[in-house]
Structure formats: C-alpha cells, structure tokens
Amino acid sequence: MVEMNQLLLEFESNLTWEAVTKEWKERRDSWVSKVQAAVEPSQLAEYLIELESDIQWEAVQSQWKLLRKSWREDCQAVSTLEEVSSLLLELESNTTWEVLSDEWQDIRENWVQQVYEFNDE
C-alpha cells in the first residue's frame, strides 16, 4: 500500500504550481499527510479526487472534460489498489506536459512501470 501512496505523492510533487489552484497551495501539506497515512484503496482514491479537483482545466487535455465524470464515479467505487493505479494513470496521461516538472519526462517511464505493477497483483 505504501508504494501506491508514494507514487501518488510523486505525481503530485511533479505538478508545477501553474497546474493547480491557489487553494491547493494552502491545503497541500495536510493532503500529503493524509496520503502518507492512508491505509485503504478507497482513501487513496478520495485523495486522488481531491488532487484532481484542484488541477486547473488548462493543465489537462481537452477530452478530460468528457472523461472526468465517469473517472470520478470510478474513484468513488474503488475497492482495490489495482483500480487506484488505473485511475492514477488515467489522470496522469490526461495531464499536459507543460504543467509537469522538467524531471518528469526523465522519471515518467519508471513511474508508469511502478504504477502498472499494481495491475499484476
């Protein structure tokens, strides 16, 4: 479980401040603590929704507006880490490169591989 928490935190930490609302900057520390303490897949999915809610529209692909409602419903129905990993990958793949750190391009492949490992469990 801790690995998935770390992968979510790693994605969030590579989002630039331009990607998120100013409210996120104020809430971020408390969100990080909650993610670190999460022990249930449903909690991680809840925190994933929280993060997504504070990502600016300009920071995601245009099709995200169409995908978002069902993605959020899927998050609310999560019961396994496998589901969380799929939802995290879906959010990441709909986030534009412009709002991710320069390092993200270098570490993304390894990150994606680690997230995918939860689909094999």
Give pLDDT tens digits for 44-58.
999 999 999 999 999
For the segment 70-88, what is each residue's pLDDT rounded down to a tens digit? 999 999 999 999 999 999 9
Domain borders along the chain are: 2-119
Q: Is the pLDDT of residue 121 over 60?
A: no
Look over the chain and give the mean of its residue pLDDT values, rounded to a whole number.
95
Angle at 62 between CA 34 and CA 99, to 5 degrees: 50
Confidence tier at 119 by pLDDT (50, 70, 90): confident
Q: What is the pLDDT of residue 118?
A: 84
Residues 6+ apart with CB under 8 A from 38: 1, 5, 44, 47
For the segment 1-36, what is each residue's pLDDT rounded down to a tens digit? 569 999 999 999 999 999 999 999 999 999 999 999
